[in-house]
């Protein structure tokens, strides 16, 4: 329970930092709990946990009977990213997928074998297997045990994943129920512009780059108002985190896809959804071609 509370407080602290940077608050600004809770859409209790964490980091000052006040200017906080600890469930989920991709785990095995290999609690294991099943990565055998799906072949998964997204994401921008949240677009756009103009983008960690990339695609999925679209993109991002996390090494390409994201957001902001859909198709096609080329080269290289 404590770990979950800590993770929640850290997530809220990151959201508060985003609001500070978006609003360009200067030192001395009074951060009111209720206003933050209303902006983020949560109760005051988790907001207070986030504020207390930022206070312990020297970013805020807590004044008795007055509240929390900003100590540092917003432009010094744009690089601050608070790590959110993963839950035990998430750790087991990622380890199972990584080990299967690496060939450490066989295609089929029993729940008892998994529990013994990873020393996993029964509740954690049950939740993890259920989530893997919901994500289409594993299936229960008719008789006994579980079998990993072929989607965990990294070459097949990446190529099919981008092919699937090419069908879904551009079309999503043109659906009748699609509604742009301009405030959310503005916040994420600023974070992209910060990366584009970053003086030393090689110093930016892969986790931060992936999270920004994933948030962009999930935000547009949420604008659809369609639960199935959101679920599909979240599933793709979970799979991409495992298959692509270490591939954010081409920093020039990072600047390029950041600019492509900005161009899509600008088109949506201006009400030109057809242009945004065309740009999204080009954006995903470039990624698909890169993956296809990588797969082709890996197959030609000697074992």
Strand-by-strand arrangement of the 60-63 sheet: 30-31, 67-70, 60-63
Where does 154-298 sit in CATH, by number?
Answer: 1.20.120.530
| pLDDT band, residue 11 (cuts 50/70/90) | confident
- CB of 239 closer than 8 Å to CB of 162: no
d(CA 133, CA 254): 32
Is it the case that residue 214 has pLDDT exceeding 80? yes
Provide the pLDDT for residue 298: 56
Residue 245 CA, distance from chain mean position: 11
Cβ count near 210 (within 10 Å)? 18
Q: What is the mean pLDDT of residues 136-157?
A: 78
The domain ranges of the chain are 6-76, 88-151, 154-298
Q: What is the mean pLDDT of residues 234-249?
A: 71
Answer whether CATH 1.10.10.10 is correct for domain 88-151.
yes
Q: What is the mean pLDDT of residues 247-260?
A: 78
CATH class assigned to 6-76? mainly alpha
Provide the pLDDT for residue 175: 96
- Least trusted range by pLDDT, from 39-43, 115-119, 151-155: 151-155
Give the angle 181-257-284 at the CA atoms, nearest 5°: 85
Provide the pLDDT for residue 3: 41
| pLDDT band, residue 273 (cuts 50/70/90) | very high
Neighbouring residues of 87: CB distance < 8 A, sequence distance ≥ 6 = 3, 4, 7
73-87, 255-269, 277-291: which is most confident:
255-269
- Least trusted range by pLDDT, from 34-43, 107-116, 225-234: 34-43
Burial 132-149 (b: 16+ CB within 10 A, else e): beebebbeeeeeeebebb
Is it the case that residue 155 has pLDDT exceeding 70? no
pLDDT in tens, 165-206: 999 999 999 999 999 999 999 999 998 998 888 887 777 777
68 pairs with which residues across the strands?
Answer: 31, 62
Q: Provide the Cα torsion 268, 269, 271, 272; round to 10°.
A: -40
How far, in Å, are 111, 149, 168, 192 from residue 120 at the CA level?
10, 22, 36, 39
Q: Do domains 88-151 and 154-298 have the same CATH topology?
A: no
Pairing of strands 67-70, 30-31: antiparallel
d(CA 202, CA 267): 29
Report the mean per-residue pLDDT for the chain. Answer: 84
Provide the pLDDT for residue 5: 43
Phi and psi at residue 28, in whole multiples of 5°? 100, -10
Neighbouring residues of 94: CB distance < 8 A, sequence distance ≥ 6 = 86, 241, 242
Provide the pLDDT for residue 1: 35
Is it the case that residue 121 has pLDDT exceeding 60? yes
């Amino acid at each position: 329970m404590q770990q979950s509370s800590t993770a929640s407080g850290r997530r809220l602290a990151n959201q508060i930092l985003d609001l500070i940077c978006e609003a360009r608050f200067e030192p001395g600004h009074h951060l009111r709990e209720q206003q933050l809770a209303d902006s983020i859409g949560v109760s005051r209790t988790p907001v207070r946990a986030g504020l207390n964490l930022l206070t312990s980091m020297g970013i805020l000052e807590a004044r008795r009977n007055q509240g929390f006040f900003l100590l540092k200017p917003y432009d010094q906080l744009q690089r601050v990213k608070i790590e959110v600890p993963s839950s035990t469930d998430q750790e087991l989920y990622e380890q199972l997928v990584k080990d299967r991709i690496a060939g450490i785990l066989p295609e089929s095995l029993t729940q008892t074998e998994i529990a013994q290999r990873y020393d996993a609690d029964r509740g954690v294991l049950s939740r993890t297997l259920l989530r893997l099943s919901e994500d289409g990565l594993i299936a229960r055998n008719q008789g006994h045990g579980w079998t990993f799906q072929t989607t965990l072949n990294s070459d097949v998964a990446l190529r099919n994943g981008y092919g699937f997204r090419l069908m879904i994401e551009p079309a999503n921008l043109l659906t009748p129920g699609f509604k742009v949240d301009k405030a959310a677009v503005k916040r994420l756009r600023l974070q992209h512009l910060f990366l584009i103009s970053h003086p030393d983008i090689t110093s930016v960690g892969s986790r931060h780059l992936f999270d920004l990339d994933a948030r962009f695609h999930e935000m547009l999925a949420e604008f659809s108002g369609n639960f199935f679209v959101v679920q599909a993109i979240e599933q793709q991002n979970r799979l991409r985190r495992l298959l692509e996390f270490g591939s954010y090494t081409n920093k020039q390409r990072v600047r390029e896809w950041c600019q492509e994201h900005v161009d899509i957001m600008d088109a949506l902001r201006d009400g030109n959804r057809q242009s945004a859909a065309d740009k999204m198709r080009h954006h995903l096609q470039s990624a698909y071609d890169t993956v296809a080329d990588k797969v082709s080269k890996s197959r030609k290289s000697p074992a």
